[in-house]
Amino acid sequence: MTAAPRDTRDRDAQSDDGAVAHSRGSFFGRRKGHRLRSHQADLIDNLLPHLALEIGAPAPDRLADLFDGGVDDIRLEIGFGGGEHLIAEARALPLTGFIGCEPYVNGMAKILSQIEAHNVGNIRLFAGDAAELLAWAPARSLARIDLIHPDPWPKRRHWKRRFVQDATVAAMARILEPGGEFRFVSDIDDYCAWTLAHLMRSPDFVWLAERVSDWQSPWPDYTMTRYGAKAEREGRKATYLRFRHALARGSG
């Protein structure tokens, strides 16, 4: 893992102030965030309600029932940002259902625009806290969870806000099916070390790395995000971590 400077990402929101309320709940954005264009606002009001998960109601027995026409398995991407990776995955795997979790309104507007433009039908969206989504979903219902270039919360007093915590690791273990995977990408060494430490001390996960290239290079068919490309241009090397649910398929 290579050293990285203090985070300079261009995600749509980096602070937890300036909540933006609307009819589907509350999104969060920077106090000086980009104002939505009229068509983006229209998508938030009219397309999002058809794709949004309502976790106030009990979860279905099978998350596949959330998708028209049925899907073979379900993946979750937490904090999809501009949506580049999520859209590419959904278009490449039409028989897989994808849930995207993003609390920031600009990110949600961007992915709705791409869903409309490409007529993508196998994505459902949640505009809220991923921990709440993990608690809501039925056990062993996801094949994979992706966390790509999350906010590292670099200040020590903010580390409790990082998504990877002992409690969320346990929640992911509950929701992943046997043999399911958690994948993590970051160019922030401290957060990579933090994630590796938390997952390695969990009895529920096994780190899938046998050689240095396993964490220095992206997995096959990985779609680089806008932030990832910017980090590379600026000389920041990402680390790619894969963890498998320790309970093998067919056991337990």
Q: Domain boundaries in the chain? A: 26-245
Residue 191: pLDDT band (50, 70, 90) is very high
Q: Note the pLDDT of residue 37.
A: 87
Q: Note the pLDDT of residue 83.
A: 94
Beta bridge partners of 76: 99, 145
Average pLDDT, the chain: 86
Range in 8-12, 178-182, 220-224 with the lowest mean pLDDT: 8-12
Supply the DSSP string of the chain, one letter for each residue: -----S-----S--SS--EEEETTEEEE--TTPPPPPHHHHHHHHHTHHHHB--TTSPPPS-GGGGSTT--SEEEEEE--TT-HHHHHHHHH-TTEEEEEE--BHHHHHHHHHHHHHHT--SEEEE-S-HHHHHHHSPTT-EEEEEEES-----SGGGGGGSS--HHHHHHHHHHEEEEEEEEEEES-HHHHHHHHHHHHT-TTEEE--SSTHHHHSPPTTPPPPHHHHHHHHTTPPPEEEEEEESS-TT--
The model's pTM: 0.85
The structure tokens listed for 141 are 């219902």
Tell me which residue of 205, 209, 207, 218 sits closest to 175, measured CA to CA.
205
Q: Note the pLDDT of residue 69.
A: 80
Residue 111 identity = I
Tell me which residue of 11, 15, 43, 1 sits closest to 193, measured CA to CA.
1
Residue 30, pLDDT > 80, answer no
Q: Note the pLDDT of residue 154.
A: 92
Each residue's pLDDT tens digit, 225-234:
999 999 999 9
Beta bridge partners of 28: 19, 104
Tell me which residue of 115, 57, 51 sits closest to 86, measured CA to CA.
115
Q: Is 35 exposed, middle or buried (0-12, 13-18, 19+ CB in 10 A)?
A: exposed
CATH of range 26-245; options 3.40.50.880, 1.10.287.110, 3.40.50.150, 3.40.50.300: 3.40.50.150
Residue 184, pLDDT > 80, answer yes
Range in 15-24, 67-76, 157-166 with the lowest mean pLDDT: 15-24
Higher pLDDT among residues 83 and 23, named by residue: 83
Question: For residue 238, which phi and psi values (nearest 5 degrees)?
Answer: -85, 155
Mean pLDDT of 102-117: 94
Residue 14, pLDDT > 50, answer no
Q: Note the pLDDT of residue 89.
A: 97
Active site residues: 151
User: Cβ contacts of residue 43 below 8 Å, gap of 6+?
Assistant: 109, 112, 113, 116
Q: Note the pLDDT of residue 240.
A: 97
Each residue's pLDDT tens digit, 42-80:
999 999 999 999 899 899 999 999 998 889 999 999 999
Residue 123: pLDDT band (50, 70, 90) is very high
Asked if residues 78 and 146 have their Cβ atoms less than 8 Å apart, the reply is: yes
